[in-house]
Amino acid sequence: MSVRTAVVLAAGEGTRLRPLTRNRPKPMLPAANRPILEHVCDALIDAGVDRLVFVVGYRRERVQEHFGPSYRGVPIEYVVQDKQLGSGHALLQAREAVSGPLLVVNGDRLIAAESVAAVRDAFAEDDARAALAVIERADASQYGAVRLRGRDIEEIVEKPDSDAFRLINAGIYAFDASVFEAIEATPREDGELALTDTIARLVDGERVRGVRTGGLWVDATYPWDLLEVASEVLARGRVSGPDRADGGLERAGSVQERADGVWVDPSARVAEAATLRSPVVVGPDCELAAGAVVGPDVALGRNVTVGANATVERAVLDADTRVGAGSTLLDAVTGQSVRLGAVTAIPGGPGDVRVGREVHEDQRLGAVLADRVRARGGVSFAPGTLVGPEATVGTGAHVDGTVPGGAEVVR
């Protein structure tokens, strides 16, 4: 019998995506114009899942408010992980909500419906204790690396020191209900229970199917990765969410394709003298003034304003962002309610980005501006700049490097 219940792990913050995760968990960050988690649910539902259990925790209101009681007609039950003590601990919270076999996925990565279906089918056909999707990645040592023997998992190691691995755990699993006991029996590491530790124990002595998949698999590790994710989503045209579904209140963008690769929500106001360059998506309630040039590779979330003669290229501007007249934004990521005054300049990457003690060199990043950053006007941002939430930048200032949240930058 095929598995139709999926548990979605959506409780973690995703700390490497700070400062964008100040007010929401990583699954709620935008993949172009819609949260990553919507794409995950689409893959599950397209693969035949008819019941969703969300494990929520960090800033869970954002998930609950967005999704409500159901998504695309599929009921959602919420269970809460109060403390984020690992993926195994997260899954354990869903124990009471699940009775039979189950699929488990991470809520923070884009996956393909085919991969979900492949794991489910392999689990159903084979007499295995569990099944999980594996994909090939050149940088396997950055992830949970996997070695196969025949069709089964031989070894699973988190971030191995060795470069010998080519396959990684794609984070799509099928289990029967006994997985909960297996998790409980797994010793905690530093107080945390990782699902992969449980799988590593299962591999010793039991069969765990490794299902090779080749479909879409996109993970945003750092904030600037959201630009790549957006390009991927735009290239595949996955911009249309479900229509209003929740008590007469709208939910996602019901964007319509105006021309090849140009999607605009019907409630957006685009001046006749504004230019949209494909691929581009414009969310609900947006306003684009005369002379604005938006695209290619731009996603505007809901209620974004682009002022007169502003240019926006390769950018993800999240909800309620205001771009003042005459601004130029290249390779830019903004959080929610970012207000940029007239003639803001983000000339674009490449630049070096500092995250803690690490330096990521030559990233194609103009700037990442977290939620509610204010730049008064005439502000310029050096390539690779990260600005924390609620920071304020005074008129005419030049910003470089990393600005902490709440800071005031003056000229």
Partner 1 sequence: MCGIIGCVGREDTLDTLVHGLSKLEYRGYDSAGVALSEAGDDGADGSDGSEGGLDVVKCAGKIDDLRAALEGRETSGPVGVGHTRWSTHGPPTDANAHPHVDCTGRVAVVHNGIIENYQALRDELSTAGHDFRSDTDTEVIPHLVEAGLHEGLDMEDAVRGAIARLEGSYAIAVVVAGEETVFAARNDSPLVLGVDDGATYLASDVPAFRDFTDRVVYLADGEFARLDDAGWTVTDVTGEVVDKDVETVDWDPEETGKSGYDHFMLKEIHEQPRALRQCLRGRVDELGGAIDIGDLGDLSPTGVQFVAAGTSYHAALYAARLFREAGVPAQAFLASEYATGVPPIGDALVVGVTQSGETADTLSAMREASRRGARTLAVTNTVGSTAAREADHTLYIRAGPEIGVAATKTFASQLAALNLLSLATAESGGRDVVAALRDLPGDVQTLLDDPRAEAVAAEFVDAGAYFFIGRGYHYPVALEGALKMKEITYKHAEGFAAGELKHGPLALVTEDTPVFAVVTGDDELATKTVGNVKEVEARDAPVVAVTDGQSDVERYADHVLELPETHRRAASVLANVQLQLVSYHVANELGRSIDKPRNLAKSVTVE
* Residue ranges binding partner 1 (CB under 8 A): 1, 4-5, 22-23, 48, 50-51, 54, 56, 59-61, 63-65, 67-70, 72-78, 80, 96-97, 99-100, 244-250, 267, 269, 271, 284-285, 287, 289, 302-303, 305, 307-308, 319-320, 322, 336-337, 371-372
The HSE-up count of residue 222 (CA atoms within 13 Å, CB side) is 16
Measured from the CB of residue 142, what is the shortest distance to partner 1 in angstroms?
31
Closest to partner 1 by CB, 80 or 359: 80
Measured from the Cβ of residue 323, the count of other Cβ atoms closer than 10 Å reads 31
User: Do 131 and 148 touch, CB atoms closer than 8 A?
Assistant: no
Q: Length of the chain in residues, anyone?
A: 411
Measured from the CB of residue 308, what is the shortest distance to partner 1 in angstroms?
8
Among 103, 112, 333, CA closest to 238? 112
Closest to partner 1 by CB, 11 or 346: 11
Closest to partner 1 by CB, 67 or 224: 67
Among 285, 387, 304, 292, CA closest to 346? 387
CA distance 238 to 253: 11
User: Do 315 and 332 touch, CB atoms closer than 8 A?
Assistant: yes
> Coil, helix or strand for 105?
strand
Measured from the CB of residue 288, what is the shortest distance to partner 1 in angstroms?
8
Measured from the CB of residue 100, what is the shortest distance to partner 1 in angstroms?
6
Closest to partner 1 by CB, 147 or 302: 302
User: Do 390 and 19 touch, CB atoms closer than 8 A?
Assistant: no
Measured from the CB of residue 315, what is the shortest distance to partner 1 in angstroms?
18
Closest to partner 1 by CB, 153 or 270: 270
For β-strands 130-136 and 322-323, DSSP reports them as: unpaired
Closest to partner 1 by CB, 50 or 154: 50
The residues that bridge with 144 in the sheet, in sequence order, are: 158
Measured from the CB of residue 58, what is the shortest distance to partner 1 in angstroms?
12
- Encode burial over 219-228: b for 16+ CB neighbours within 10 A, e otherwise: bbebbbbbbe
Measured from the CB of residue 267, what is the shortest distance to partner 1 in angstroms?
5
CA distance 75 to 58: 22
205 Ramachandran zone, left/alpha/beta (phi>0; psi -120 to 50): left
Measured from the CB of residue 70, what is the shortest distance to partner 1 in angstroms?
5
Closest to partner 1 by CB, 97 or 293: 97
Closest to partner 1 by CB, 97 or 218: 97
